[in-house]
Amino acid sequence: MAYTIAFSGKGGVGKTTLCGLLIRYMLETGKHPILVVDADSNYNLNEVLGVEVETTLGDIREQMKRGDVPIGMTKDRFMDTKLEESIIETDKFDLVVMGRPEGQGCYCAANTLLTNFLTRLVGNYDYIVIDNEAGMEHISRLTTKDVDALVVVSDTSKRGLQAAKRINELASSLHVVIGRGYLVLNNVEGELSDAVKKYIDNIGLEFLGCVMKDPLIQEYDMEGKPTFEIPEDSVALKSAYEVFKKIV
């Protein structure tokens, strides 16, 4: 059974960047093969990893919805073929991207497609890393379920910490099967204030530590360079690795 790690958190706290750095850590410590899943409809994990995306599960769903099925091919066969083609294979990991929602805001069908597809794939990998969309919607739609580690990322802002607490509460109320729930603070400068420490104690997640603020992260992002390839002396990378040792 694959060991599954899912990332969540409020938008803008850097969860996708940390997800990419975790994948790098896993590769460097011999934890593979890895299936990476970008379950965010506004996907950009591929940019962090330096991988081009041509087809998403959302694209395939749209093709089927429009009836773009070749004559003589059943819808099931068409879907199977397209889903296999959607797997982006690299020499380091495989990547599947959920992509955008169909229609006016509803992407339940795309989520179901992703879940069913993942069920078929899990037997081929020892590890699965999932980057979920910002907020709590993925939990309410049960995209994130049966995971060994739920990593909730926040910054030191009250809104980020509140979102982390709500994510944990919602996961508990839906009886999502989670082995361990973790909190990681990202983009931290200096020591944590007493107010932040107090809030952390009330979130209900195991606090793993802090990833320190690093101008290199923003520099790589602005220049369109994959943060997956950030130098080894990066303070963010070094502090992230200390956190990741406790996850996998």
pLDDT band at 226 (very low <50, low <70, confident <90, very high): very high
Region 146-152 average pLDDT: 92
Domain boundaries, the chain: 3-244
Q: Does residue 76 have a pLDDT over 60?
A: yes
User: Residue 75's pLDDT is what?
Assistant: 72
Q: 3-244 falls under which CATH superfamily? A: P-loop containing nucleotide triphosphate hydrolases (3.40.50.300)
**pLDDT tens across 112-130, in order?**
666 677 778 888 999 999 9
Say if residues 129 and 19 touch (Cβ distance below 8 Å). Answer: yes
More confident residue, 75 or 167: 167
pLDDT > 70: percent of the chain: 90
Per residue in 18-30, pLDDT (tens digit) is 999 999 999 999 9
Whole-model pTM: value is 0.90
